[in-house]
Structure 1
Amino acid sequence: MRRLVVTEFLSLDGVVEAPGGERTHPHSGWTFPFASEDLQATKLQEVREAGSLLLGRRTYEQFAEAWPPREGEFADRMNGLRKAVVTSRPGALAWNAERLDSAASGSVRSAIAALKEADGDDDGAILVAGSPTLVRALIVWGLVDELRLLVYPVLLGGGQRIFPDDRTKWTFELAGLDRFDSGAVLHVYRLAGS
């Protein structure tokens, strides 16, 4: 079974919105002051090890606009990875992406579970970046094997978050902790028993 890994940039107050310059938040680009070579090397290793991306529609649209014109190993990997997109909007998808076929599976949840079960060329993890609405659902559905939370030392005073507010308890085990030169800290958690 392929592992589903959620990777997020997170402020101290739990905000994931607009880390990279998106125009949806007054503090857009809040990760930029904390860039460092060691952090960039870790993110590069993460995409090297990924087998594919699973994205929500809005994150897909932002990424599909941002990544194709960029150059370098990270951009090449992002552009080359296969992508499954959770969307109900009609029309063809570009950027090496295909629509997650929830009709054949009966639901988005079933389609993602089938994606985890599928054999294929991409033996690496299914990486979910951004996509807060999708991530909340994945957590509620119990489909997340690992959370990689890159916490930045900044409070944003509100914005989109990934954690559900349904009062369900999920237990994760700390699997890794890395502090970067910029002050950001990567917390890696695995679902207990997975």
Structure 2
Amino acid sequence: MGTIVVSENVTLDGVMQDPRGEEGLGRGDWFAWLGEGDRHAWAEALLAEALGAEALLLGRRSYEYFAARFPSRAGAWADRLNSIPKYVVSSTLTDTGAWSNSTVLTGDVVSGVSTLKEKVDGEVVVYASGRLVRALIEHDLVDEMRLMIYPFVAGAGERLFGETSGVRLMRLAATQVVGDGLALLTYRPAPRP
């Protein structure tokens, strides 16, 4: 059975939107604020995660972002993302374009992702995809959350966590310092006391 692993880049104040500064929020490129050592360490951590994954799961907007960039890229991380099976949750997307090994999951998100968890043996990593992540959290489909914390406050932008119908208890499973300034926090669902 597969495990759904949410992997997100977030600021100290929980912002996940527009880390590359391409959406016009006026906050700039987060990666430009890091030193070269931190960017290199981040890339190593991301590659290790991708190499350990059996599949990617993305929302439509995140899928379109990655699919527009990665088929033409080279390097270990790009090679892995280009070769790994990819699943995109969408009610509007019908053509996955030129990004190989991509499948659209249509219909109900909960049943589609539940079926995917039964089909894949190993980690199914979710990058970006804020709306999808919130739906997965709401329906208790997240098995692990990996939050790469950037050492600054963005002050504006969409935050990873929105309202839920109830409290979702999580337990800290691991911490890792990445480079000199990033923290990778890993959480897993915890039973209610």
| Structure 2 residue 163 is matched with structure 1 residue 165 | yes
Matched residue, 1:135:
133
Change (3 A) 1:135 1:168: same
Percent identity, aligned pairs only? 39
* Contact preservation (8 Å) 2:93, 2:104: no
Counterpart residue type for residue 166 of structure 2: T
1:24 is displaced (CA, Å) by 4.1
1:46 is displaced (CA, Å) by 0.1
15-24 vs 168-177, greater mean Cα deviation = 15-24
* Contact preservation (8 Å) 1:16, 1:162: yes
Matched residue, 2:60:
57
1:36 is displaced (CA, Å) by 3.1
Counterpart residue type for residue 129 of structure 1: Y
Q: TM-score, normalised by structure 2?
A: 0.90
1:183 is displaced (CA, Å) by 0.5
1:124 is displaced (CA, Å) by 2.7
1:17-56 alignment, distance < 5 Å: 17-34=17-34, 35-56=38-59
Counterpart residue type for residue 2 of structure 2: R
The 3-state SS of whatever aligns with 1:31 is: helix
* Contact preservation (8 Å) 1:140, 1:164: no
Matched residue, 1:10:
10
Structure 1 unaligned blocks of 5 or more? none
Distance 1:110 1:24 in 2: 35
Structure 2 unaligned blocks of 5 or more? none
Matched residue, 1:101:
106
Distance 1:189 1:15 in 2: 18
1:70 is displaced (CA, Å) by 1.4
* Contact preservation (8 Å) 1:8, 1:129: yes
Matched residue, 1:116:
117
Change (3 A) 1:98 1:167: closer
Counterpart residue type for residue 189 of structure 1: Y
Distance 2:62 2:138 in 1: 20
* Contact preservation (8 Å) 2:20, 2:28: yes
Aligned counterpart for 1:148 among listed residues 133, 146, 149:
146
Change (3 A) 1:173 1:167: same
Matched residue, 1:185:
183
Distance 1:141 1:15 in 2: 22
Aligned residue pair count: 186
Q: TM-score, normalised by structure 1?
A: 0.89
Distance 1:138 1:13 in 2: 21
Change (3 A) 1:157 1:67: same
